[in-house]
Amino acid sequence: MRIDLSGRTALVTGSSSGIGLAIAAGLAGAGARVVLTGRDEKRVAEAAASLRASGADATGIAVDLAADAAPVLEREQDVDILVNNLGVYEARPPLEITEDEWRRYFETNVLAGIRLTRHYLPGMMARGWGRVQYIASDSAVVIPAEMIHYGMTKTALLGVSRGFAKAAAGSGVTVNTVIAGPTHTAGVEDFVYQLVPGDLPWDEAQRRFMRDHRPQSLIQRLIEPEETANMVVYLSSPQASATTGGALRVDGGYVDAILP
């Protein structure tokens, strides 16, 4: 299957590293012009430069999308592919999560993506083509006891994406959620060491984390960011024109269900 996204502009939020950067690289590899975002100007610039060094058409915007999307909306008035990847997470005892933290998680992980979708979806529908995706998590279905505030936001994304898919019905625009499983990123390495002894070598720490905290995984390892990016690139393609309103799993078999 040859995926050609030449002439398309893709906006990927939270893309200065990890899954977001892998998604941006995958879309750029298929020919799309990619726009990266992140809060740290230096990291965003370095990420965009790394893609340009490999021949990609990439630019970056430093912005806190949970607070204000204007810097993105003013520079990129129309996009063809919107990937709402931005998200924050950390382990917290449920009864210690404050109201301000609940609010911050919702505004960052859910409302930021809704804001961008509300802006870009009408233009996609008017042009008769577009792709909107939300990056959720196995935590949307299997709420982790150690971070229910994060799980709540990922569950919300399933409803948000299904609703916007209905709003775009018959327009040629698809809206989907990708359910990513436990993934190997620098941030997740930090998270793993919150739950296992910090003096363990990484390979042993990863094995213990999967055994003790994610034993349902059928691949019994963390997923690499590029594996999630592959699904996003496919869903962004013309070949995925009949897939909308769905929750597609790249979870290593972690969720013990036939359907999400």
Question: Where in the sequence numbering do the catalytic residues fall?
Answer: 150
Closest to 191 measured CA to CA, from 205, 179, 176, 204: 205
| The two three-digit tokens of residue 54, written as one number | 């490999």
Coil vs helix vs strand at 170: coil
On whether the CB atoms of residues 113 and 160 are closer than 8 A, the answer is: yes
Q: Report the Cα 171 to chain-centroid distance in Å.
A: 24
252: left (phi over 0), alpha (psi -120 to 50) or beta: left
The H or E element spanning position 33 is strand 33-38
| The two three-digit tokens of residue 260, written as one number | 């999400």
248 φ, ψ (degrees, to nearest 5) = -95, 130
